[in-house]
C-alpha cells in the first residue's frame, strides 16, 4: 500500500476530494535501503495544525515521529486495589 497524507474537511467523505495534499507514506520498507519512506510538507502541515486540523491516529503517530507534534504521554495501567476487588466480588461485578 501507498498512502497520501491530506488535509480534508470533516464534513466530506473519507474518500472525498482533499483540500490539500501534504505528503505520502509507504509502510513497506524499500528493499535496497530497508527504510520506510515518508514525504511531508512541514510548512503546510504546521499551518493546518495551527488552524485546528485534527490528525487521525495513524497520521498523529507519523507527525510525532517527525517532531511536528509532542508525543502523547504513556498512561500507566490501572490496577485495582485488593479492597476494590473484594467489594467488586461482593457486589457481583
Higher local confidence (pLDDT), 48 or 78: 48
Q: Give me the pLDDT at residue 42, please.
A: 93
Work out the average pLDDT over 56-69.
Answer: 91
Q: Give me the pLDDT at residue 41, please.
A: 93
Higher local confidence (pLDDT), 87 or 6: 6
Computed on alpha carbons and rounded to an integer, the radius of gyration of the chain in Å comes to 20
Which residues lie closer than 8 Å to 41 by C-beta, 6 or more apart? 22, 23
Work out the average pLDDT over 58-71.
Answer: 90
Q: Give me the pLDDT at residue 46, please.
A: 94
Residue entry with cell 495513524? 58
Give all strands (DSSP E) within the chain, no chain letters: 3-7, 20-26, 37-40
Full-model pTM: 0.69
Residue 19 pLDDT class (50, 70, 90 cuts)? very high
Say if residue 43's pLDDT is above 80.
yes
Residue 18 backbone class (left: φ over 0; alpha: ψ -120 to 50; beta: rest): beta
Which residues lie closer than 8 Å to 9 by C-beta, 6 or more apart? 16, 19
Amino acid at each position: 500500500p501507498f498512502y497520501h497524507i491530506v488535509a480534508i474537511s470533516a464534513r466530506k467523505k473519507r474518500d472525498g476530494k482533499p483540500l490539500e495534499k501534504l505528503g505520502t507514506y509507504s509502510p513497506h520498507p524499500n528493499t535496497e535501503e530497508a527504510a520506510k519512506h515518508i514525504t511531508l510538507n512541514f510548512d503546510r502541515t504546521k499551518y493546518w495544525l495551527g488552524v485546528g486540523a485534527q490528525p487521525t491516529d495513524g497520521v498523529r503517530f507519523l507527525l510525532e515521529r517527525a517532531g511536528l507534534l509532542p508525543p502523547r504521554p504513556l498512561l500507566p495501567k490501572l490496577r485495582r486495589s485488593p479492597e476494590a476487588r473484594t467489594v467488586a466480588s461482593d457486589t457481583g461485578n
